Structure 1
Amino acid sequence: MNDYIAKAMVHKGQVRVFAAVTTNTVEQARILHDMNPTPLVALGRVLTGAALMSQTLKAVNQTITIQIRSDGPIGGIVAVTDYRAGVRGYVYNPHFDVPLNEHGKFDIRTAVGSGHLNVIKDLGLKEPYIGHVDLVSGEIAEDLTYYYASSEQIPTAMNLGVLVSPEGRVLAAGGFFIQLMPDAEEEAIVKVEKGISVIPSITAAIHEGKTPEDIIRIIFPDDEPETFDPVPVTYKCNCSRDRMIRNLAALGMKDLEELAGDENGAELVCHFCNKKYHFTQEEITALLKKQ
């Protein structure tokens, strides 16, 4: 199954719901970053959350960045999505593991620890919107749900999951995102609460072959949803040599002079895809002269 997001409005247009399968996207992240299972699950949840959140954007030039900085062994997580659910991300420490929790699950709470969550929305205005909340659990979905309640005052429910094989490959990944519209009645709230309780494991449903549309039907079995065109989800890094040159130029005179003194030149590595860009001593010297 290809990765994509299904979108619908239910309960007389009072509830919007997005459901996603992101298995291939998260597996691509694993390959790019050579991650251990625990950080893989954490990043996979954030990438899936970012993809779902992308469907709240309204223009092609808009982006959302999720930043988590914490005191757990993972150190931090960054994910970026564009309007079309093209996501990219990384963790500060991809090579660690912690023991499974008391339920035999990956202990993401311990891996992340305490810290804070930033959501940065670049809406094409002069300044981006930045929402900041403390982490409430470190489990990712609960933290993003709390962000919406605290920073945007929008009742939201999210469920994010990644299932990993004993060999460390991604078997299933995905999630759902539900928001109440401003005119939502009490009946809509009850329906959402009842619906999300019937999917204890989103990854089990996806591993069984359930599609995003199936997930929406499971949550809202009595509704005739108003559906919208599905949106593909991809791992998409937009790094380039030109972008890296701009990063070099931003270092400042002192650092550039130091790099220009190295006959081996300099190598920059993209955080999001680990692609390496080598710049010769001559290129750095030429850049220095433009400063």
Structure 2
Amino acid sequence: MKDYLVKAHAYDATVRIYAASTTTLVAHAQDIHGLWPTSAAAFGRLLTASVIMGAMYKGDQELTIRVDGDGPIGGMVATTNAHGEVRGYVGNPRVFLQYNSGKLNVGQAVGNGFIHITKDLKVKDMFTSSAEIQTGEIGDDFAYYFTASEQIPSAVGLGVLVNDDNTILSSGGFILQIMPGCSEETIEQIETILKDIKPVSEMIQEGYKPEDVIRDLTNNEYKLLEHLDLEYKCDCNREKFEKGLISLGVAELETFLEDEDPIETSCHFCNTKYHFSNDDINQLIHEIKSAK
């Protein structure tokens, strides 16, 4: 099933809900970065939360989200936009921690620290807000971020199931937000549903679509507003790396010419490698000098 997200209103438009299936994009990220089970679960949750948050914006606006914890994962980064595209990387992809029950211990892998969210709204300045990591389980931490930093009471459900062979079995998530005017009775009803609802990763494993997740969150009383296809997508290319090398300046580039081996650069987000020979470096030096 293709990954996608749906947005809905419920309870007389006093509640906003986003639900997403992300199994394919998380599996792609797992393959790109060679993620071990706990790293895959943590990073998959971050990618899911990020791509849902991206859908809250519009046009060419972008978000960059950093989970800066002191656990063995060593931090995670995700960048997303309003078009359902997300990419990212993990400080340490090789983490495999479990509870005694066998459940992956994402909280210990992430550790203590902060979530930092930078919004590029394509205006003069970018804006960064932060919130302290609460449990390291990612869902709890984003729920706290929305309530503490954006003053939007929210429930966040994120889940990734990893097969015994280290492939991704299922991944998905939801973000439910309380809007102004929501009654105490509705809030109590939602709290009861959240207490009893299945983990979202189990729902996706059982064949739930995002609409089905919203159905269970609202007792089947909701209005769908938007459908958005989702994809793990990197926007790197050779030209961007050329610009990065040019920014080093002539003196630094000339030091590269002392080594006959080509320069290899690699994208953090997709691990694509770009090679630059001495002839390529000489051409970049020529471009810098010609521009002066």
Q: Under a length normalisation based on structure 2, what TM-score does the superposition of the two structures give?
A: 0.94
Please give the alpha-carbon distance, in whole angstroms, between the structure 1 residues aligned to 2:185 and 2:254: 66
| Structure 1 residue aligned with 2:34 | 34
- Cα deviations by residue, 1:15-63 (Å, 9 ceiling, x for unpaired): 0001111001100111111111110111100000011111210x22111
The answer to whether the Cα contact below 8 Å between 1:149 and 1:156 also exists between their aligned partners in 2 is yes
* Distance change >3 Å, CA 251–CA 93, structure 1 → 2: farther
| Structure 1 residue aligned with 2:237 | 240
Residue 89 of structure 1 deviates from its aligned partner by 1.1
| Structure 2 residue aligned with 1:139 | 137
1:284 to 278, 281, 284: 281
| Structure 2 residue aligned with 1:65 | 64
| Structure 2 residue aligned with 1:95 | 94
Please give the alpha-carbon distance, in whole angstroms, between the structure 2 residues aligned to 1:255 and 1:137: 44
**Which AA in structure 1 matches 2:149?**
S
* Distance change >3 Å, CA 183–CA 262, structure 1 → 2: farther
* Distance change >3 Å, CA 182–CA 5, structure 1 → 2: same
Q: SS where residue 56 of structure 1 aligns?
A: coil
Please give the alpha-carbon distance, in whole angstroms, between the structure 2 residues aligned to 1:265 and 1:193: 59
**Which AA in structure 2 matches 1:118?**
H
Q: Does 1:193 align with 2:205?
A: no
257-266 vs 231-240, which moves further: 257-266
| Structure 2 residue aligned with 1:231 | 228
Please give the alpha-carbon distance, in whole angstroms, between the structure 1 residues aligned to 2:49 and 2:118: 14
Matching of residues 33-182 of structure 1 within 5 Å: 33-57=33-57, 59-98=58-97, 100-182=98-180
* Distance change >3 Å, CA 11–CA 34, structure 1 → 2: same
Q: SS where residue 197 of structure 1 aligns?
A: helix
Gaps of 5+ in 2: none
Residue 9 of structure 1 deviates from its aligned partner by 0.1
Fraction of identical pairs, as percent: 39
The answer to whether the Cα contact below 8 Å between 1:156 and 1:180 also exists between their aligned partners in 2 is yes
* Distance change >3 Å, CA 75–CA 121, structure 1 → 2: same
Please give the alpha-carbon distance, in whole angstroms, between the structure 2 residues aligned to 1:70 and 1:103: 24
Please give the alpha-carbon distance, in whole angstroms, between the structure 2 residues aligned to 1:191 and 1:262: 67
**Pairwise CA RMSD:** 1.5
The answer to whether the Cα contact below 8 Å between 1:15 and 1:188 also exists between their aligned partners in 2 is no
* Distance change >3 Å, CA 252–CA 108, structure 1 → 2: farther
Aligned length: 288
| Structure 2 residue aligned with 1:11 | 11
Residue 215 of structure 1 deviates from its aligned partner by 0.7
* Distance change >3 Å, CA 191–CA 259, structure 1 → 2: farther
Q: SS where residue 196 of structure 2 aligns?
A: coil
1:272 to 258, 269, 274: 269
Please give the alpha-carbon distance, in whole angstroms, between the structure 2 residues aligned to 1:286 and 1:88: 31
199-208 vs 12-21, which moves further: 199-208
| Structure 2 residue aligned with 1:259 | 256
The answer to whether the Cα contact below 8 Å between 1:65 and 1:79 also exists between their aligned partners in 2 is yes
**Which AA in structure 2 matches 1:42?**
A
- Cα deviations by residue, 1:208-232 (Å, 9 ceiling, x for unpaired): 1111111111111152x11123111
- Cα deviations by residue, 1:163-220 (Å, 9 ceiling, x for unpaired): 0110011010001011111222222322321222222311111111111111111111
Residue 287 of structure 1 deviates from its aligned partner by 2.2
The answer to whether the Cα contact below 8 Å between 1:77 and 1:91 also exists between their aligned partners in 2 is yes
**Which AA in structure 1 matches 2:23?**
T
Please give the alpha-carbon distance, in whole angstroms, between the structure 2 residues aligned to 1:43 and 1:68: 10
**Which AA in structure 1 matches 2:256?**
L
